[in-house]
Amino acid sequence: MKTNPGFTLIELLVVVLIIGILAAVALPQYQFSVLKSRTAEALENLRTLHQAQELYFLEHGEYTDQLANLSITLSTDQRASSWNGTDASNPSKYMYSCNRTQTGAAGCIANAANASLPILQYNSENSLQSDGTYKPRTTKPYLSCLADSAYGKNATAEKICKQKYTDSYEWNNKTYYIWN
């Protein structure tokens, strides 16, 4: 009698089940690792923006709200990363922007184009006084990470933010984690 050397249906189902279980465990971990590396890249870009803003301030006596004035290159891969520079045309991507208040305080953020609150931000205080000079800094520039997305609590963002923070504060029902 001749036997067929193939696999039985049960053996195939067991293999498919094992592959499914492995994929269910590995895929979320992989996605978190990708998000973590992109967040680290965004933080490094914000540090670069911070240094460029401080150099601009030393040279011009004020902060700028235009990224083009900073003459820096951000380390982003336009094809692969969600942190894609200053183009806000795709609302699912993130963008970098700088702002300046009338008092001279400045900040740069990595923000979802369709979100109302920054996800990662750099802040620096330099208050313009009435005589045109700047009050000395009372706080160090700092990086902060908002652990709540514009649409509610984001557990992944919170997990990433908590890894390196030195302080945290609550404001407007949001939790910010701060790096110095």
Residue with the two structure tokens 């400045």: 106
pLDDT of residue 15: 95
Q: What is the DSSP string of 3-34?
A: PP-S--HHHHHHHHHHHHHHHHHHHHHHHHHH
pLDDT along the chain (180 residues), means of 10: 78 95 90 76 73 79 73 53 42 49 50 44 52 50 50 52 62 59
Contact 85, 76 (CB under 8 A): yes
What digits encode the pLDDT tens for the residues 67-98? 677 777 665 443 334 444 444 444 344 445 55
Residue with the two structure tokens 């205080």: 125
Task: Find the helix or strand (DSSP H, E) in which 43 lies.
Answer: helix 9-60
Cβ atoms within 10 Å of 95's Cβ, excluding its own: 20
Contact 116, 130 (CB under 8 A): no
pLDDT of residue 14: 95
Rounded to the nearest 5°, which phi and psi values hold at 20?
-60, -45
pLDDT of residue 88: 41
How far is residue 72's CA from residue 149's CA, in Å, rounded to a whole number? 28
pLDDT of residue 49: 75
Contacts with 137 (C-beta within 8 Å, 6 or more apart), sequence order: 124, 125, 126
Cβ atoms within 10 Å of 149's Cβ, excluding its own: 17
pTM over 0.85: no
In angstroms and rounded to an integer, the radius of gyration of the C-alpha atoms of the chain is 23
